[in-house]
Amino acid sequence: MNVHPTAVIDPSAKVPPSCKIGPYCVIGPNVEVGDDCELISHVVIEGPSKIGASNKFFPFSSIGLGPQDLSYQGEATRLEIGDHNTIREFVTINRGTVKGGGLTKLGSHILIMAYTHIAHDCLIGDHVIMANAATLGGHVIVEEWATVGALCPVHHFVRIGAYSFIGGGTTITRDVLPFSKTAAERGTHAYGLNSVGLERRGFTKERIRKIHHAYKVLLASKLNTSQALEKLKSEPDRGEDVNALIKFVESSDRGVIK
């Protein structure tokens, strides 16, 4: 194992020989790190935390420490992180709380830029990008391939739909629709389809056409949300993407940004 002499690793931590642990890193008890991870320097990881393979932690990131929740009393809640993630400088990721299910969980192939905060009980899907100083309150769900822009505060219990894009500096207090673009300069409205992002992810023109039609019905027609959903459900061959959009809206507790 490549461990700098100033690093401190608890004897109970599981760190494979393939990992590289840089200067002044601290790995506490009840931490399990996967193969080929790198902690550049001054990284702190506390447990219980389970870290997957090939993750790279940049200086001064704080991983798996207790949640910033007044109800937290030191319970052994957990953090789980998948594989091939990049976690940049000064990122903070907290463990879960008992009342929130006890788990904060991140998927794989995620880019978390500097100064981002991921609070307790958040669930982050694969291939998510969180830009500099994006801030998630507790219990936030970010679905796969979503992008959260720089300096975006996200209210607790909000869901951010798959393949959505949130512009920088946008305050999010309601659920963000899948496949959408949302930005503060538009009055915090969904202002259309994230068509460029969908093309980059390999969506066919036909899939994008169906989603675009659904957005016209949902956002640009004179129908209210319930009427728009009923119209979409009545249409044949709407596709699985539109079905997912309908399900997302119907299951929203906080309401969606339209």
Q: What is the pLDDT of residues 65-119, one digit of tens each?
A: 999 999 999 999 999 999 999 999 999 999 999 999 999 999 999 999 999 999 9
Residue 153 main-chain phi, psi, to 5 deg: -85, 130
Q: What pLDDT, on a 0 to 100 scale, did the predictor assign at position 184?
A: 79
Q: Is the peptide bond before 16 cis (omega within 30 degrees of 0)?
A: no
**Residue type present at position 91:** V
User: What are 1-56's pLDDT values in tens digits?
Assistant: 699 999 999 999 999 999 999 999 999 999 999 999 999 999 999 999 999 999 99
* Range 53-75 burial, b when 16+ CB lie within 10 A, else e: bbbbbbbbbbbbbbbebeebeee
CA distance 176 to 57: 29
Residue 189 CB neighbours (<10 A): 16
- What is the per-residue pLDDT across 121-166, written as a single tens digit (0 to 9) for each? 999 999 999 999 999 999 999 999 999 999 999 999 999 999 999 9
Cβ pair 77, 68 in contact under 8 A:
no
Domains of the chain: 2-139 (2.160.10.10), 197-250 (1.20.1180.10)
Residues tagged active-site: 120-121, 138
- In whole angstroms, what is the distance from residue 109 CA to residue 17 CA? 22
> Are the beta carbons of 123 and 139 closer than 8 angstroms?
no
Place of tokens 């007044």: 70
Tell me the three-class secondary structure of the chain, residue by residue. Answer: CEECCCCEECCCCECCCCCEECCCCEECCCEEECCCCEECCCCEECCCEEECCCCEECCCCEEEECCCCCCCCCCCCEEEECCCCEECCCCEEECCCCCCCCEEEECCCCEECCCCEECCCCEECCCCEECCCCEECCCCEECCCCEECCCCEECCCCEECCCCEECCCCCECCEECCCEEEEHHHCCEEEEECHHHHHHCCCCHHHHHHHHHHHHHHHHCCCCHHHHHHHHHHCCCCCHHHHHHHHHHHCCCCCECC
